Amino acid sequence: MSGVILGTAHREFVKGNEAICHGALAAGCRHYFGYPITPQNDIPEYMSAHMAGHGGVFLQAESEVATINMLLGAAAAGKRVMTSSSGPGISLMQEGISYMAGSELPALIVNIARSGPGLGGIAPSQGDYFQAVKGGGHGGCRIPVLAPHSVQEMYELTLLAFELADRYRTPVMILGDAIIGQMKEPYSPGLHEPPAPIDKPWATTGCVGRPRQHVKSLYLKDDDIERHNWRLHEKLQRVENAEVRAESYHLEDAKIVLVAFGTAARVCKTAIQWARKAGIAAGMIRPITLFPFPKALVHETAGRADLMLVVEMNTGQMVEDVMIATSHHDKIRFVGKPCAMPTPDDIFSEIKRLAGKTA
């Protein structure tokens, strides 16, 4: 990618994984650390070919444990940094992610999810939802999670991830999957302005003309750790108040409201179009931020809809957040397809079945 002109609809035809790399470079990320794992290898491969040309650093670490700690070090030094991985690798990173959340270090962590548990498989999956949005690491850490459903969003949400990371001093995760990562489609890099670099006076860059400072997550004195926890909590509340993003798809008059994210949402869109043609008032809430979750929108919609159909590529995880968001539990239905993409047919027949029951 070169010579992007802002405000133009110039289009690129690339894989989702590559769009993330374009976004990272556009956002001024010049430090990538990673370890190979399918289905995200396009990202380190692209970065290894292009980082040097941008005056940046690409380093293949000896493990994901080392990776996340290299990220920690480079973030502490004030740089925009990123890594990418998948299930087993993301699990290995969790200690470091918790340290980074505790030390308030901005970074982008991309999870192009595969099936699990264990070695699982390389088929697409949304089985990492809980791990991503409920903290993953120890000690009550939580980080914002963004869920792209197109190559365009792989690019845009990468820009947003760096912006949020810096604004709130937190790691941010992009949760994709094998389909969204491997899928090729056109996107327009010129529609979005990359986030401007920001001052990081807290960074450990050598104490020239100022007292020494530290990046740390250890608080042993008195009630320091309690205060630190409340402060992090308050920060997450600010994120919840200001950063919820969701797409409302044919929601205005919808009686059957689907809730889906990422690849699953993409398939749902087709099923909803078919349903509309068949005269069924279907619509969808597509959370773009999985954490913070669009609770208010879900609650308010559930009040007026007949049914809420949660569609996930797992055996039911986000559905729990839908249940937390609304008290209308009797309206909630779930259809899941672990470790594979559901077809529009799968979802359309479920919509028809439910419409028959409510009619």
Shortest distance (Å) from residue 129 CB to another protein: 25
Residues 12-51, mask of contacts with another protein (x by CB under 8 A): -------------------x-x------------------
Residues 260-289, mask of contacts with another protein (x by CB under 8 A): ------------------------------
- In this chain, which of 3, 53, 55, 209 binds another protein, going by CB under 8 A? 209
Stretch that binds another protein, among 123-131, 203-211, 275-283, 335-343 (CB under 8 A): 203-211
Beta-bridge mates of residue 310: 259, 334
Please identify, using beta-carbon distances, which residue of 218 and 278 lies nearer to another protein. 218
**Stretch 93-152 residues interacting with another protein (CB under 8 A):** 95-96, 99, 103
Shortest distance (Å) from residue 264 CB to another protein: 34
Closest CA to 14 of 38, 56, 46: 46
Residues 216-245, mask of contacts with another protein (x by CB under 8 A): xxx---------------------------
Shortest distance (Å) from residue 104 CB to another protein: 12
CA dist., res. 212 & res. 302, Å (int): 53
Please identify, using beta-carbon distances, which residue of 55 and 118 lies nearer to another protein. 55
**Torsion angles phi and psi, residue 85, rounded to 5:** -165, -165
In one-letter notation, the amino acid at residue 203 is: A
Which CA distances in Å does 54 have to 28, 47, 49, 152, 254?
9, 10, 10, 22, 48
Closest CA to 287 of 253, 324, 315: 324
Shortest distance (Å) from residue 170 CB to another protein: 17
Q: Which two tokens stand for residue 110?
A: 């991309």
DSSP string, 3-40: -PPTT----EEEEHHHHHHHHHHHTT--EEEE---TT-
Shortest distance (Å) from residue 59 CB to another protein: 6
- In this chain, which of 5, 196, 214, 330 binds another protein, going by CB under 8 A? 214
Please identify, using beta-carbon distances, which residue of 95 and 240 lies nearer to another protein. 95
- In this chain, which of 19, 26, 215, 232 binds another protein, going by CB under 8 A? 215
CA dist., res. 78 & res. 107, Å (int): 10
Shortest distance (Å) from residue 215 CB to another protein: 5
- Write 347-352 long-range contacts (CB < 8 A, 24+): 347/258, 347/267, 347/268, 347/271, 347/311, 348/271, 348/274, 348/275, 350/309, 351/256, 351/258, 351/271, 351/272, 351/275, 351/280, 351/282, 351/309, 352/275, 352/278, 352/280
Q: How far apart are the first and last CA of the chain?
A: 51
Please identify, using beta-carbon distances, which residue of 66 and 123 lies nearer to another protein. 66
**Stretch 53-92 residues interacting with another protein (CB under 8 A):** 57, 59, 61-63, 65-67, 69-79, 81
Please identify, using beta-carbon distances, which residue of 74 and 110 lies nearer to another protein. 74
CA dist., res. 305 & res. 300, Å (int): 9
Please identify, using beta-carbon distances, which residue of 224 and 300 lies nearer to another protein. 224
Beta-bridge mates of residue 174: 110, 146
Hey, how many other C-beta atoms are within 10 angstroms of the C-beta on 284? 24
Shortest distance (Å) from residue 181 CB to another protein: 25
Shortest distance (Å) from residue 50 CB to another protein: 17
Cis peptide before 117 (omega within 30 of 0): yes
**Residue 54 DSSP one-character state:** G
User: How many residues of this chain interact with another protein, rule: CB under 8 A?
Assistant: 39
Shortest distance (Å) from residue 107 CB to another protein: 10
Question: Which chain residues interact with another protein by CB under 8 A?
Answer: 31, 33, 57, 59, 61-63, 65-67, 69-79, 81, 95-96, 99, 103, 204-209, 212-218
